[in-house]
Structure 1
């Protein structure tokens, strides 16, 4: 089976430096030197499509542009690329969400994937009018996905749940194909929802041993539900012709981190209710390690290298996914193969800036994975099936 790679649409802006935002960070206007216009995002999407990425993740939150509207527009400028649209249950009714997804499928030729984000921060949820606590939000997500799944199956749905109620709900046209559900979360209640409803469980980029534990945990829960789940990982990537060049780029990004910004972001993230965010913070400790002990010969910032070629520096100024694969094309391919041996089949990647980094990865790493028989360009697979 060919590995699946997705890229990222930076709907909060892009830059040659790390653009803040993400899970649990303060709400600010879209930043970066490249505004998230439909034209620029379409340029990234077309590059990802040509290079062999299957889909592109679009985030959700008050810190970025709306994912549904943005991807609907960008989809008209692409042909094959799928859109992994992040959305939060509870902001719209499950019947309307099921209908929106069905419409998106028909208008794009079946190019929708759904990344269900329950919402880990109560203060941000309240800004949208949602006053449930974290556990209740996950319970509502379970009810939401139950309704959506039954509607997509063509049924008439009645539900009098603890958080949601629908009566005589039905879709005039069901989606074909049914969108796959991507879902992440590190708390016990998140695992239960994933086991019952997810097609793909996503984890942020932790070291392999921690990822292996998560896979075992979710796989066991899913088996109890009589289901099987695929696994994916969300990472940034810095890949170059040589290891030295890649680490020099990581150091350049690190040098651009303002100490005041790091302190402000880390203070905000420390208040996060998300177990996944807590695990991200633990990887870097909230600050830049001091030289010389943290810097190996050649100046690479290994104080933040938490596993060979896995760098926690991004998480200093960005919420959510905070680690990057850093190294030569061969080294990055080796780390991907390492995660794959654990059970990871899908990789959701990004880099700064997203246009150029897509080419570095697509032209440097993917051919090496293809040579190992781990990856095939989607268009080649489609031609073979045809």
Structure 2
């Protein structure tokens, strides 16, 4: 199991849909989050893309020197950039970061944004371009000299002279809920991502991709994109979820949902259908909360609960075949620590030191009375047991 975190290049706050609790997201803050994720042991970070975000390639390039093991999941946008130039960029960043680049293939779902970037393709045409783009990109990134002529793209002797560190190329991640997306994932990508829908819906999507990939003799891995609100008790977690949208007005929700309605993304439509723009029934599956999607595009659901509850839900998705979990939380710096401290001990992660291995070269916890080392934590389950109320003797 691999856990990723998120760099909020579109902004960060303690509350959604308001300037209350907002903070400046500059390079110094992004560096704090990236270094925290690196030191805590997250596998990597997803960097979002779009006109509301800082450029993901520039951000990843600027943060790679300040991190050691952290991987960067960076977007490529077929139809907006040349596949050959994109392959060269990927090879360069993979080399600079010593093999820490991952590629997120984004077809785009907002026609207004696409038009602003000079792309006037329909939903179907965008997937046609993405298919052609990846055929060229994969060949060039793998060190081949590519000649290709398709419906939309044509190259002659396309190549790069400097290969990436990872072979044959940095892994390709991709998400999409339409039939065209399923076909593309089965044929060309390494990891298929879904947004956080209820387990039964996720199982259907996994089966659809797996069946088509099997028919092509390919193996595809699976991941999921979710927010997480984990606290020491379930009550505290649900209170935190309510607080996160406590400043969201009905007017803000209406404006956000109206904006999302223009998208031609099937995945965005499915996210909107989970809550219908209403805040009165947001727990759509045990511990799965759709409140984020009231005002945020893309991933709109969060796992909410105690450490054991959230870990159980994660394992439920893992049992369906999910291997990669890409989480985020508001605000992202504090929640990175909270997620690592509360969830890592309960999960079978392959990128975190086993429990009990402590770095003895420096402090861990505050020294008590200048002499006494802090005791080790009890087992996570035991830590969650409520403290019994004291029994008071009756007054004589």
Decide: shared fold, TM above 0.5.
yes
Cα RMSD (Å) of the superposition? 1.7
Q: 2:6 aligns with which of 8, 12, 19?
A: 8
SS at match of 1:76: helix
Aligned 8 A contact 1:151 1:174 in 2: no
Q: CA deviation at 1:92?
A: 1.1
Q: 2:351 aligns with which of 332, 353, 377?
A: 377
1:326 aligns with 2:316: no
Q: 1:337 aligns with which of 315, 335, 339?
A: 315
Larger radius of gyration: 2
Aligned 8 A contact 2:47 2:72 in 1: yes
SS at match of 1:355: helix
Partner residue of 1:298? Answer: none
Aligned 8 A contact 2:99 2:165 in 1: yes
Residues 69 and 19 (structure 1), Cα distance of their counterparts in 2 relative to 1, 3 Å cut: farther
Q: 2:265 aligns with which of 274, 284, 293?
A: 274
Aligned 8 A contact 1:201 1:229 in 2: yes
- Mapped partners of 2:23, 2:63: distance in 1: 16
Q: CA deviation at 1:71?
A: 1.1
Residues 213 and 157 (structure 1), Cα distance of their counterparts in 2 relative to 1, 3 Å cut: same
1:87 aligns with 2:76: yes
Partner residue of 1:119? Answer: 108
The alignment's TM-score, normalised by the length of structure 1, stands at 0.89
SS at match of 2:8: coil
Q: CA deviation at 1:34?
A: 2.1
Structure-to-structure mapping, 1:145-184, within 5 angstroms: 145-177=134-166, 178-184=169-175
Q: 2:197 aligns with which of 193, 196, 206?
A: 206
SS at match of 2:245: helix
Q: CA deviation at 1:35?
A: 2.2
- Mapped partners of 1:162, 1:237: distance in 2: 42
Structure 1: 5+ residue stretches without partners: 21-29, 290-302
1:133 aligns with 2:122: yes
Partner residue of 2:230? Answer: 239
1:227 aligns with 2:222: no
Q: CA deviation at 1:37?
A: 1.2
Higher RCO structure (Cα 8 Å, ≥6 apart)? 1
Aligned 8 A contact 1:47 1:358 in 2: yes
Q: CA deviation at 1:87?
A: 2.5
CA deviations over 1:338-363 (Å, ceiling 9, x no partner): 00001101000000000111111100
Structure-to-structure mapping, 1:279-298, within 5 angstroms: 279-289=270-280
Name the count of aligned residue pairs.
Answer: 354
SS at match of 1:44: helix
Structure 2: 5+ residue stretches without partners: 358-396
CA deviations over 1:243-286 (Å, ceiling 9, x no partner): 00000000111212122111100111122211101111111011
Q: CA deviation at 1:131?
A: 1.0
The alignment's TM-score, normalised by the length of structure 2, stands at 0.87
Aligned 8 A contact 2:15 2:246 in 1: no
Q: CA deviation at 1:32?
A: 7.0
Q: 1:348 aligns with which of 323, 326, 329?
A: 326
Partner residue of 1:306? Answer: 284
